[in-house]
Structure 1
Amino acid sequence: MAAPCDHRVLVPVDVLGGESVPRTVIDAFASVPVVLLGYREIPDQTAPEQAREQYGERARADLEELRSVFEDAGCDVTSRLAFTHDRLKTFERVVVTDSCDAVLLLNPAPILESVLVAIRGDVNVDYIARLLGTVLDGTDLEVTLLHVASDESRRDDGTELLETARDALVDADVDADRIDRRLVVDGSPTDAILEAAADHDLLVVGESRPSVRRYVFRDRAERLARETVDPVLVIRGDYLEVDEAADDDGADARPVDDGAVVVSPTDIADEGTDGTDERS
């Protein structure tokens, strides 16, 4: 059994858009604390406060019903509710404010038997392995580690990287018999990952460099989530503190103002607050 850890996963759900969380996903993530974010993306001309007043009661009811399903599965779950003009920016903000290690972007998952883990570099291998060890604990999920080398000259480096990732998963108490490795040489890594994902039920991608809140979905993560039919778990890098002046690209690391109102349904019910989150 994997050792206890402080990992936490953000699970955003479009509660008013009819989106649900497949039971297979709930069962697979029951061993990991979850922040359940019920959200609704609204038009630019609609104020989040206006949407909350109009749809908040219904959204809270739907969110609490979904939360109870997670709790019945034995999951440690916290819920949040947001009306936003930009869902990805809101996800990134909540990831930081609620100290989440990853974001699970939902797609239908009628079965969940195999996981594809796209490994891009060795910077985050141990970090990814520790979180995966927690997710895989208590499941029978099979794991394929995938690395896409840009050309033949990088094949040996890719093989070594996959071996390092395998060892890290074994150290995280994942049975070696459940782990497969696959190396692909392709000049288009994103296309290669999408092709491989078609044979699996859950895609895991991670940052190869540290990231701050506005870059959880930089690089290929957003396209992978948009174009695959699988749920996608985006694992954050060993992220920088939010008060750092800039990231490695020179971008401002201050909190992003996404215009969203993010609230805790429990706080509203128990404390009667107006639900406005001042942290953004």
Structure 2
Amino acid sequence: MSSPRDHRVLVPVDVLEGESVPQTIVDAFASIPVVLLGYRELPDQTSTDQARDQYGDRVRAEIEELRTVFEDANCDVSSRIVFTHDRLKTFERVAVDESCDAVLLLNPAPVLETVLVAVRGDVNVEYIARLLRTVLDGTDLEVTLFHVASDESDREAGVELLATARDALVDEGVPSERIDSTVTVDGSPTEEILDAAADHDLLVAGESRPSIRRYVFRDRAERLAKRTVDPVLVIRGEYLEAEDERESVDAPDDADPNGRSGEITSGDREAE
């Protein structure tokens, strides 16, 4: 069984837009290390240096205050400050830099009691189960495993997929009575997931390709995050495309010529 310390979640927060992390999320994720990413997406005509000079102190103060909230919940938390022209590209890079297994896209969460886990047929359910067990650790959250089959002929395969996912969760120590399963057929997967998410408080989606930005954020999870009222936890794939990751990195202002980020303060790193 994996340890909570084996996992890490990236939580991007646009503090200048007044975005914060609901206390319910803080409490639910207290058992897993968190990387807070205080970010600001800039228009093309605004330089990152200009934004840093104008907003840096304010963003740093806001994210430090938010760190304190996580620390008060006994959460292992670190933070980074980012000014960027492409937030999704930056989320991807920082997730890789910080070895984060998932990215939490925030939405309000006044109540956090039930989790909908959207499972596709091409994901590693054991990997998702390991991380999900870490998130569930110390909570009473109930889980619904959800799969959208393309037609009736695929329904049985969906049932078997969710049975495998359920077994993986139970093997990780999640009580079976906290796990439910639903397979729906036909319709748009995104619409079906949104309809099901309306009855839950947190949506979990797994990716099966290496690049968060290219596949997940610019695909279903991004649309789900925009259209659902729930926070969306995107669990990253186990493997990476090293070449693509190198190409996606924006050199931080404190990076050396070899592209390595330097430490600004303990737990805080600043990037463009």
**How many residues are paired up?**
264
Whole-angstrom distance in 2 between the partners of 1:253 and 1:80: 19
- The one-letter code of the counterpart of 2:61 is A
RMSD (Å) for aligned C-alpha atoms: 2.3
SS at match of 1:154: helix
Whole-angstrom distance in 1 between the partners of 2:249 and 2:203: 29
- Summarize the Cα distance change of 1:262–1:62 in structure 2 as closer, same or farther, 3 Å threshold: farther
TM-fit CA distance, 1:123: 3.4
SS at match of 1:255: helix
Name 2:213's counterpart in structure 1: 214
Whole-angstrom distance in 1 between the partners of 2:25 and 2:51: 29
Name 2:58's counterpart in structure 1: 58
- Summarize the Cα distance change of 1:133–1:269 in structure 2 as closer, same or farther, 3 Å threshold: closer
What are the within-5 Å matches in structure 2 for residues 139-178 of structure 1? 139-178=139-178
8 Å Cα contact 1:214-1:256 kept in structure 2: no
8 Å Cα contact 1:37-1:82 kept in structure 2: yes
- Could you list the per-position Cα deviations for residues 53-73 of structure 1 after superposition, in whole angstroms to 9, with x for gaps in the alignment? 111011111110000110110
Residue 247 (structure 2) aligned to one of 241, 247, 255 = 255
Whether 1:39 aligns to 2:39 is: yes
Whether 1:236 aligns to 2:236 is: yes
TM-fit CA distance, 1:255: 2.8
- The one-letter code of the counterpart of 2:76 is D
Whole-angstrom distance in 1 between the partners of 2:41 and 2:253: 11
Give the alignment's TM-score, normalised by structure 1: 0.88
Higher helix share: 2
Question: Structure 1 runs of 4+ off > 6 angstroms?
Answer: none
Give the alignment's TM-score, normalised by structure 2: 0.90
Whether 1:17 aligns to 2:17 is: yes
- The one-letter code of the counterpart of 1:18 is G
8 Å Cα contact 1:8-1:102 kept in structure 2: yes
Name 1:248's counterpart in structure 2: none
8 Å Cα contact 1:84-1:261 kept in structure 2: no
Bigger mean CA offset, 234-243 vs 85-94? 234-243
- Summarize the Cα distance change of 1:5–1:60 in structure 2 as closer, same or farther, 3 Å threshold: closer
- Summarize the Cα distance change of 1:212–1:2 in structure 2 as closer, same or farther, 3 Å threshold: closer
Whole-angstrom distance in 2 between the partners of 1:129 and 1:188: 25
Whole-angstrom distance in 2 between the partners of 1:8 and 1:111: 23
